[in-house]
Structure 1
Amino acid sequence: MSENEPTQLIEGRYRIVRNIAEGGMATVYEAVDERLGRTVAIKIMHTQLAQGPHRDQFVERFRREANSAAAIANPHIVQVYDTGEYNGLDFLVMEYVHGVNLRHEMNLQGTFSVRETVRVIAETLDGLAAAHRIGVVHRDIKPENILLNDRGHVQITDFGLAKAASQATLSSTGMLLGTAAYLAPEMIEHNQATPQGDLYSVGIMAWEMLTGKVPFDSDNPVTLVFKHVHEDVPPVSTVCTGIDPSIAAFVSHLTARQVEARPADGMTAAEELRQIAAKLPLEAWQYRLHAESEISDRTDATAPALVGRIGESVHPSHIADNPAPTSAMPPAPPAAPTTALETQAERTQVMGVAQSTAVSDQPTDTVIPTEVHLDGESAEKPSKHNRKPLVIALTVLLIIALAAGGGTWWWFAGPGSYWSVPQPEDVSCAADDTECALTGADWATYESLLKTAGVPYTMTQDYSDTVAEGHVISASVDAADAYVGTHIGRRSDQQLTVVVSKGVRMATIPSDILDATSANGKDPLNALKKAGFDKVTHDSSKDDYSLDVPEGAALTISPDPGTTLKHDSDVTITLSKGPKPVTMPNVTDMTKDEVQSALEELNLTANITEEYDDKIAAGKVISTSQEAGAQLKWGDSVDVVISKGPETITLENYVGQKASTAKAALEKLGFTVSVESQITVDSSKDKTVASQNPVGGTVVRLRDANGNPTAITLKMYSSIF
């Protein structure tokens, strides 16, 4: 599958884009996962391995890599997404990492500062801690497998040699896989893979970062592995004579020859490093070895070197020719990104523990068909390095002098008595800036730095109009502003207080603010204040009267209720002045319709009733509950009585009825009744009404204009017999 071949689609999903690396076991391609629309790296086993006599071993390595990496959830582990078989070749689909590997950075920089080294080693240990926690041992830690992404963070790749700790032996294959310069003694001598073996490799890697070379080197891999088995790794301080003793001791702890002399696993080592970093003074972080140009022999771990600290004048000619890098590691990645897989720069060594045969067509891997005796004898027995007794003696004397003469001062009054506030990676400080603030630093990254350095801190959050969410607004120690380099007392329980931005404070206009019956609607200005708005415009000259909205409630608001916006956004509101005051009009002599119209025009409610009135004509106003000129307001009610005129009745015809009955009935109606006699000879009509005035059927007022009852006259028959 060369670059000249047409684009291929694997499993109908992964479209090959280009060949990006060739390794001893596989070819690596950049591809696009068309199902998820993301860029991935695909590692496809070489044909000669898939068809060779050791196919099962290499397939197992492929599948182990997928299973091991997929089981670990950690940002410092390259993720494996998928695995499968294509045309008889096993493949892995992995996370595409933009960046370079650590070997690339080593080739560029030569040596690293303590700060750079600790950061890389701490993140590597964090990734290994996650692997060790679930019982997975990597077994092939080396700079080629430590990727530095475009954000400068570590991602560990190539778990092809990884295996569960409970099954950590290579005797089943009879082959020893790994890079010789980083192999732990127990892996070489006993085929035993342990978490401590990973830590040994990390320690060798740290040794190389600090010194610019590995502690043991040889053109003959057999000699090299014998050195690991039979010689102690020299203290890094034998090369970096000015390095902090605690850092040198930590590297020695990782590279101890005996398994039990190393930290138990990645978690333990990471915690040990955190405790050491917490006590490092600023000068120790800045330490960096500047090796002279003539030091090119990588076989002598104790070769002398010119030592200095970043920013110090070490040697004029050396600085002119080899200026110390001052930018934080890593530098900007190259145009073509490196993926999380094997590259042509890898030098994986394959060594037979007993007698192995060569694996054909593996230009970047080496098989040593030589019987290796691990009992201290072989055809080529390595000689031990000169330990440079004078250098060691001077170093020991320096440490003793420091402990005896200055230890007390250092611990109780000097740099050992405080932590120094570290500088965030994303904050620039001018050389003459004595108050370099932490403002703007990314909190997630800076918190990791504080944890690594062991600086005690508390974090609070607040809103900020100028500092983005998740970034530092300010810092203080004991309520006083803190800057880069500010001291935090170790024995006074001081701590760094960091205020982190929650971004611009947002506020929401209450959705019920126009509901005058709600709590927010009754006091809208206070409601907006409680909601967090700082720029509320209320122009009282634009307030207006309202028949329906009580005084003080909101009439209009802009933006609309329920809108969420920045706390300092403009909010405009008008309030109700309540019902408008009006004057009761004079409605005397008005008709019912005229009264109703006059009151409605003033938004007054007319409660109209009608009554009989002996003086006022029907339809005219008799009385009102409010006198003319009274001060009212919109919505008030006015009771109005309208005349129905005088009360009348149609008289019944009582002629022929008993006079007494007729009289009683008329009086009950409110009339005044007078009875007159009329003589009759007809005894059957005695005491009956002979006539009435007014006559029956006449409409008669009950009262006159003065309110007196109307008189009715009845004539009654009186018999003479």
Structure 2
Amino acid sequence: MSEVTGAPIGKIIDNRYRITRKIAEGGMATVYQATDVRLDRSVAIKIMHIQLAQGPHRDQFVQRFHREARSAAAIANPHIVQIYDTGEYDGLDYLVMEYVHGVNLRYEMNRVGTFSVRETIRIIGEILDGLAAAHGVGVVHRDIKPENILLNDRGRVQITDFGLAKAASQATLATTGMLLGTAAYLAPEMIEDNLATPQGDLYSVGIMAWEMLAGEVPFTSDNPVTMVFKHVHEDVPALAAQHPGVPRPVSEFIARLTGRSVSDRPDDAAQALRELQDFSRSLTPTELAYRIGDGPQPQPTSVLPVSDIAAPVQEDDVAPLATEVIGDGGKDAATSGASDAVAGKPRRRLAIILGTIAAVAAIAAGGFAWWHYLGPGSYWTVPSADDVACTQGRTCSIKGARFADYERTLKVTGIPYTTSEEFSDTAKKGTIISASPSNVGDHVSKRNNDVMTFVISKGVRQLTIPADIADSGSANGKDPIGALEKTGFTSIAHDTSKDEYSMDVPEGAVISIDPKPGSTVDHNRTITVVLSKGPMPVSMPDVVGRTKADALSMLGQARLKVSASETYSDTVASGKVISSSVKAGTQLHWGDSVSLVVSKGPQMVTVPDVRGKSQDEATKTLKALGLDVKISAPLGNLTHTVRLQDPAPGKQVRVRDTKGKATTVTLTVV
């Protein structure tokens, strides 16, 4: 089984990442789109397949997996997919990565067929720029192929799967003997020795460049074993030999990347990028526009419909109330005798009258007691509200009624009440959020001194965006997202893919915010924030040996601060850079300082006239200028006086030659 047990769609991983859909499945992992509910942003989550996390090598795999993930996360380059987090889900390790809106290079290859030279150079250049940052921190990708090269919606390259290929391949080789990676792009040393080198990544880049231009890889076979054999034992054919229209510098560069021997290739991606930039400047517009054949037309993208599901509402049943009245029956006893009948009639009539009076009094007293203590006299009835419609036979709540209107009814009926206020996102200001009792017809007891309680809406809570949130020096400005959350805003839109590099605004500070600082708005109003990523990382150009003007231009394009000093040089021509304070290829950032030492050329002096001076004085004068002195006395040296000198007085000469040796002045003395 390759995927996690049970589809995780809809589940929340680590109480933070809600899985929304499956993006893709590969040999090592399944990739899902998810929402980071803590930061409200889309991310991609790669969950490793179960067979890579089981068996005796699990601990070794997990250790390497996290180590390589940390290494990849340390790479700062816009052409690298960022790694945000790692964790474990159902016993399977996962990576949380930047979600890239776009397609992979394989999709684009299938769509366009072949690429122009210009587009190939641009894409390969961005890939090399990303790899240069990785190689600079000791990370080797090992699985460069079109599927791992993403093109975002602006067409820019972002490389994915850093660190994963290396960790996965080591674990798999140890357990199953399988060789991971796509055979069409594997370097010979990877196949033979499982040796991961920066040059191996360059080999894969070269194969991709070959394929982008030609529309197919240089080695093809239905059998992966045969293809692997070709990579190890055959040279990649020159692209220009099969397609003469391809500019020769392009073909030669690809041949250099795909050399069978590691030593035949550039040392790393930074060197390869410099070589690419060097020859690209010499290509003509016609050469840059060259394309082998025409690719297929782009196909339209379909949009899936979204269905709404409505839940049915059930009506309450109304049960009839059955009332039964039961009466007691009696029978009169007949008596005999006239006297009894005559005498008994008045007494019986009086008894009946008195009994009737007593019964009426008892009924009246009992009825009053019932009405006052148990019946309607013992409670108030919750009245209806004029602005809330009630349905006959159904419970009717006073929720949503305007309290100012309902309060007049309460005062007329004499029902005691208390109120409190709360903010509400759904109830209009001044309406009833809740009441107790809450339904029309409910009772409020008089005997227990009960009162009605109401919660009245204050409307949607209003909050003010901190006025200093765009001030990077303030506490709010140093953590703008946290400041908004602390203020109470509940809908903060911060898309990290839209954050911008800046020389002026520190990393993490506000570039822009909408609505503006100081605005008072609903707490659930969406606050859109763009933050600074700080100065952009750049690679130090190789400026040694270039003219000062060229060096300043290159460093200016990299937005580096430059200072230059000048000194004499016996070996470097005037106006060219002797050295820089930062080594070429070093990763810097916009605004970093670089110092240059520029040659003033060889130091020159004017030979003074020392004729007529004593030998010692003349020698001292010339050596003070850095010159060497040779004494010639063909007629003897009686007076020690200089009569002739070579070079002649007034001549401009170098103080030293290209080897640093001082120029010699020959003095002829007598």
Q: TM-score range by the shorter chain?
A: 0.3 to 0.5
Larger radius of gyration, structure 1 or 2? 1
- TM-score, with structure 1 as normaliser: 0.40
- TM-score, with structure 2 as normaliser: 0.42
